[in-house]
Structure 1
Amino acid sequence: MEEKSVEKSFVTSTVFNGGLNSNHHFSSMEINRQEDKFSVKHLGSLTSMWNDFAGFLNKKQIHIGGNETGMHGSESHSAILKEFAGFLAETGCVSHEDASGTLKSLSTTLKVCTLDDYWIIDSGATDHMTNKLTTLHDFEEMSCPSKVSVANGKGVPVLGKGKIKLLSNLVESMALYVPSFPFQLLSVGKITYTLKCLVIFSPTNVIFQDLITKKTIGEGFLLNGLYYLSKNSFACKIFQATLGVVQDHNLWHQRLAHPSEKVLSSLFPNLCKEDNQCQICHLSKASGLPFSSSLTRASKPFEIVHPDIWGPVLESYDGFKYFVTFVDDFTRITWLYLLKFKSEVVNVFKDFHKLVHTQFSSSIHILRSDNGSEYMSNNMSQYLSTQGILHQTSCVGTPQQNGVAERKNRDLLEKTRALMFQMNVPKRFWSHGVLTATYIIN
């Protein structure tokens, strides 16, 4: 990228309604281009007045180093503006008061609004580079000479490096100090890596989009084939407001109602994690300690059986409101029986016991259940006693101790709902759904 192309990029012929050659008029003025470049956005609001100004300069025929009469190096551009204001008043275009206002307007455009404040967004640059030492902090001089290669193949000396404040204080971006550069470069590769964002180039502008939230976090504009991001532009202020305000981990943790570290890191990937423990989290998120997994398990089939009853629920088309499961602790195989009434559990268990004895030539040693009334009734207690079956019950209010049966019922119901939703089956056919789910699991 040559200096010539950058210097010419601050004006375009489309700004001038008359199609005047902008390069001619401003090369003819003895104005330092590095100090008094024009903002195309401000010139765009001066179209008619600008044509008058350009025509005035054309008549004056001011040339750098020329021999023609007119204003030369000893006269600043402010003198030119004063003469132009007088010219407008004399020709009757504006009053003397309006001419004074015009002078201020053009002077502001010439002196205040410069492209020196803009950074060029360069996809070919491997590092951020600036010619202004004031834009860097934590500056370090190069201990040994270093150079960067430019488009023409020549090496340009690098005098040091520092961190830029342009994008945000949240992400420390290193930039090279190259005083011989006539412009400032932002490396697209560095931006995408440090900010975790997409850079989308379009025919009119450039957009920075966050990878996670997909929100626009900044933008720039296109001017004569170059993309610019200005530190003083509205777009860059959005950029800074989005990225530069937040750098306190604890502050955002409190603002967002104490989310987990996983949630916070997904919202702010570049936020530095702090090791200090949050006392509010300990107080507000306290929960009971989990029950440890059982260290004992049956050594053979039907040594321990876990029963559990579920219901009541919407009556099925065939009249059932409950079901009871018997889970073998050793094999985890499940037997499920549909019930119309909860009191049928005793008779169903007797049938199940006979099935085990007849089909598997085995006997149930331990029945481990919760404290449901269906298991604590006299009929159930007498039957267990006569059959020599030991009845173990969990503590009151601790279904975790009967976790095998509880987890099995959850699995059955999840699969039942999935089957019924998949086939759009009415709820009253849940009895067939749960039997099918049991068959699939077994």
Structure 2
Amino acid sequence: MIFEASHCIIKDIQNDKTIFMGHKCDNVYAINISKYDGHDKCFSSMHDQSWLWHKRLGHANMNLISQLNKDELVRGLPKINFQKNKVCEACQIGKQIKNSFKNKNFISTTRPLVLLHMDLFGPSRIPNLGGKSYAFVIVDDFSRYTWVLFLSQKNEVFYEFSKFCNKVQNEKGFTITCIRSDHGREFENIDFEDYCNEHIVLTTIFRLLELLNKMG
């Protein structure tokens, strides 16, 4: 089958003869079968049924499809063996990660705490000795210094972050200007938004006072 922008052609691969031609209409290629009444026709589709249903069900996991089959939860789902030892090309491409960004040969920040990179991972299958299953990682862009805070629950991120901010700003004598995350919901919520808005305002006031003091 050869698909073009306006039509599709179905050919016999043995003699390269055109058998049918369809025209595109509303994103569907339609064939007028009545035009070919003078010919013998046999329509068949050679396809692995298990992977055909995998695609029909939105590329569902084979274990899930087997459970749907066992419990008869989908009408028309045939009683076939769903193979789990193959790889779906579309699923493989869909789960590929993007290439890493190129390494920078310069530092874009001018002092510590200008930019903090944050991420949370977990829950780990095996908790640490303190019973914590999550790890909250914070990296300073300027120094690349890294802090790792262990958490019991995902909703502890904001509380630990607010404590961390107060502690590290007092220790280093700098203010945190910007934070960067992966836009996870543990970071993008009303608590973080309110805290960051207040922090930016205080930082701006502090800088203005510092500038006024230098000007005398």
Q: Work out whether the TM-score is over 0.5.
A: no
Q: Could you tell me the TM-score, scaled by structure 2's length?
A: 0.44
TM-score, structure 1 length as denominator? 0.22
- Structure of greater relative contact order (alpha carbons < 8 Å, 6+ residues apart): 2
Tell me which protein shows more helix as a share of its residues.
Answer: 1
